[in-house]
């Protein structure tokens, strides 16, 4: 596993990270034992970056990771944690809270659930429209000074907010969706990050399984985010799966899987972009790790982007009710 710099933060992370959300939330039932085994397999394979959020499963995901890390050396992993999303007992989303006192509160509970005494990268899950980003970043900066946080990240914010945040404290990385069919960050967001020495940790590199090569119509069950995601709806999903089949032909010619070529394409966009894979099982993890051996030359990149042209996806990446909270969508 290659280790690469996470922006100008001074820390190095594995060239691929593990996103753990699906082990607790949004994609239907998961197997606890298999989830823990998958985390162990990822660490054993050299993955150091584990991504979670304190609201994934209302704390379940952090406790799951904490259990998986028992008996492991703390410095084997870098924990990236999002905070601030509010939910009720039914799982309904209620908004975001990045008030300084809330930041301190969220961090205290996160440390307890994970069973650690510091977080490697701490980031607001979204921009709280009621709290200036300077106040939220300043609150995390105080936690850095106190030793509870090592680095500060951002998530789903646009160029102006990135600049304002970086003026308060160095930012290690921006976590944002990026894949062959979600390329909206390329025109303005990525250039600002590169100007400021901020890495991109890319989630959704397989578009929640849509371009994994494994997804079939009707797979989304009740309680699965994809059942209400625009790109999985009738009228859109057929067009998107046609893109997958075009990509499959290229993958087949190279002797790799659709998922592997899709992940490799993201990784090929720059050393400052770290794909986060959302594997919930060891077999999916092994497939994703295989992307590290996929070399794409200029001809391959051209063929892939011809098969899946920019802006070819049908449907938005989130339902409208969630897009309105995303600063990254408003500031393009």
Which positions are catalytic? 56
Q: At what angle do helices 258-267 and 237-254 cross, to 10 degrees?
A: 90
The span from the CA of 50 to the CA of 100, in Å, is 25
Beta bridge mates, 79 = 50
Please, what sign has the CA dihedral across residues 215, 220, 226, 229?
A: positive
End-to-end CA distance of the chain: 34
- Give the count of beta carbons closer than 10 Å to the beta carbon of residue 44: 9
Closest-CA residue to 172 (of 4, 11, 15): 11
The span from the CA of 171 to the CA of 144, in Å, is 12
H or E element at residue 191: helix 189-196
- Give the count of beta carbons closer than 10 Å to the beta carbon of residue 6: 26
What are the DSSP E strand ranges found in the chain?
3-5, 12-14, 17-19, 49-53, 78-83, 85-87, 93-96, 119-124, 149-155, 171-177, 199-203, 273-277
The span from the CA of 188 to the CA of 238, in Å, is 30
Supply angle C-alpha 67, 80, 71, rounded to 5: 25
> In sequence order, what are the residues at sequence separation of 6 or more whose Cβ sits closer than 8 angstroms to the Cβ of residue 243?
180, 181, 211, 307, 308, 312, 313
């Amino acid at each position: 596993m290659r280790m690469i710099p996470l922006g100008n933060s001074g820390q190095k992370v594995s060239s691929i990270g593990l996103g753990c959300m699906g082990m607790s939330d949004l994609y239907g039932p998961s197997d606890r034992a298999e989830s823990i085994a998958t985390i162990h397999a990822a660490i054993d394979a050299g993955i150091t970056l584990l991504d979670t959020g304190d609201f994934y499963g209302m704390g379940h995901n952090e406790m799951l990771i904490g259990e998986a890390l028992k008996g492991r050396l703390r410095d084997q992993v870098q924990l990236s944690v999002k905070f601030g999303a509010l939910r009720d007992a039914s799982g309904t989303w209620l908004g975001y809270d990045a008030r300084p006192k809330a930041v301190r509160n969220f961090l205290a509970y996160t440390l307890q659930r994970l069973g650690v005494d510091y977080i490697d990268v701490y980031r607001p899950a979204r921009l709280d429209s009621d709290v200036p980003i300077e106040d939220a970043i300043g609150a995390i900066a105080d936690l850095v000074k106190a030793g509870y946080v090592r680095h500060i990240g951002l998530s789903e914010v646009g160029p102006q907010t990135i600049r304002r945040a970086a003026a308060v404290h160095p930012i290690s990385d921006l976590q944002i969706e990026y894949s062959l069919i979600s390329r909206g960050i390329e025109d303005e967001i990525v250039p600002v990050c590169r100007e400021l020495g901020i890495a991109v940790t890319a989630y959704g590199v397989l578009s929640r399984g849509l371009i994994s090569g494994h997804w079939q119509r009707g797979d989304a069950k009740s309680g699965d985010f994809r059942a209400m995601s625009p790109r999985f709806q009738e009228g859109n999903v057929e067009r998107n799966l046609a893109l997958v089949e075009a990509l499959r032909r290229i993958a087949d010619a190279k002797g790799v899987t659709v998922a592997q070529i899709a992940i490799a394409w993201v990784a090929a966009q720059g050393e400052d972009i770290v794909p986060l894979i959302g594997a919930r099982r060891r077999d999916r993890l092994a497939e994703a790790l295989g992307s590290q051996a996929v070399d794409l030359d200029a001809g391959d990149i051209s063929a892939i982007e011809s098969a899946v042209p920019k802006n070819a996806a049908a449907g938005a990446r989130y339902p409208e009710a969630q897009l309105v909270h995303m600063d990254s969508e408003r500031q393009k």
